[in-house]
Amino acid sequence: MPTNLNTHPKPLLFGELGDLSYAKVSSVEFKHGKGTQIFGQAEPANYIYQVIEGAVLSHKRLSDGRRQIGAFHLPGDIFGLGNGDFHRFTAEAIVDTTVRLVKRQSLERVARTDPAMARSLLTMTTDNLQHVENHMLLLGRKTSRERVAAFLLEMNGRLTAAGVMALPMSRRDIADYLGLTLETVSRALSAFQRKGYLRFLDPTQRHIVVLNASGLAKLDR
């Protein structure tokens, strides 16, 4: 549901593709409203995306609705990559989000002759793989407290500004990322607050200050 659009004549993927900003690929910006789908599982993968502002989640579903979120994408992150011809996840905007998109074909065209681009695509895919591998250990073997602690540490590093972590996602989203229920996530967060590991700043409980990161790290490992 693009609501706005803004073409750029030149180079423009940041982050991992920053080094390649000279590359002859063009990009377009789109805005997606909160809760809207950016692409669906099994759809043709014509573009790859970069979050400019906002937040995105990628998930898979079982036929009865159970959901597993594979990753949260925050500003600077690239997603929709490493797909073959079809997306293997569904991507949704968690909040109003601006993404930049690049035609997959144009990247591949460049990569066919430019080993630096090919290398960059490989690096991004490998980073992706690394994250997912670590998440597999979490999902397969960690306890609920360990999972929530790991989540907090991950997000604390990724979206803390001025000491405050402003979570864009709901408890349900967190739960579906961690392979838990939202109640279990809520209980773990409350327990951490009681232990003095963190503090909620607002009544909606999405602004958190981590007071004892090493305590959380010990709970994780």
Partner DNA sequence: CGATGACTTGAACGCCATCAATCGCTGTGG
Partner DNA sequence: CCACAGCGATTGATGGCGTTCAAGTCATCG
Token duo for residue 220: 């994780």
Q: Which of residues 25-44 bind a second copy (CB under 8 A)?
A: none
- For the packed helices 144-159 and 213-220, what is the interaxial angle rounded to 10 degrees? 140
Residue 160 CA to residue 13 CA, distance in Å, equals 23
Q: Which of residues 138-157 bind DNA (CB under 7 A)?
A: 143-145
**Smaller CB separation from a second copy, 178 or 188:** 178
Residue 137 contacts which entry, a second copy, DNA, none (Cβ below 5-8 A, type-dependent)? a second copy
**Smaller CB separation from DNA, 38 or 167:** 167
Residue 36 near DNA by CB under 7 A: no
Residue 67 near a second copy by CB under 8 A: yes
| Residue from the set 159, 181, 211, 215 that interacts with DNA by CB under 7 A | 181
**Smaller CB separation from DNA, 26 or 205:** 205
| Residue from the set 166, 200, 207, 211 that interacts with DNA by CB under 7 A | 200
Q: Which of residues 115-134 bind a second copy (CB under 8 A)?
A: 115, 118-119, 121-122, 125-126, 128-130, 132-134
Q: Where along the sequence are the contacts to a second copy (CB under 8 A)?
A: 60, 62-64, 66-68, 70, 82-84, 88-89, 111-115, 118-119, 121-122, 125-126, 128-130, 132-137, 139-142, 176, 178-179, 221
Chain positions contacting DNA, by CB under 7 A: 143-145, 170-172, 179-187, 189-190, 200, 203-206
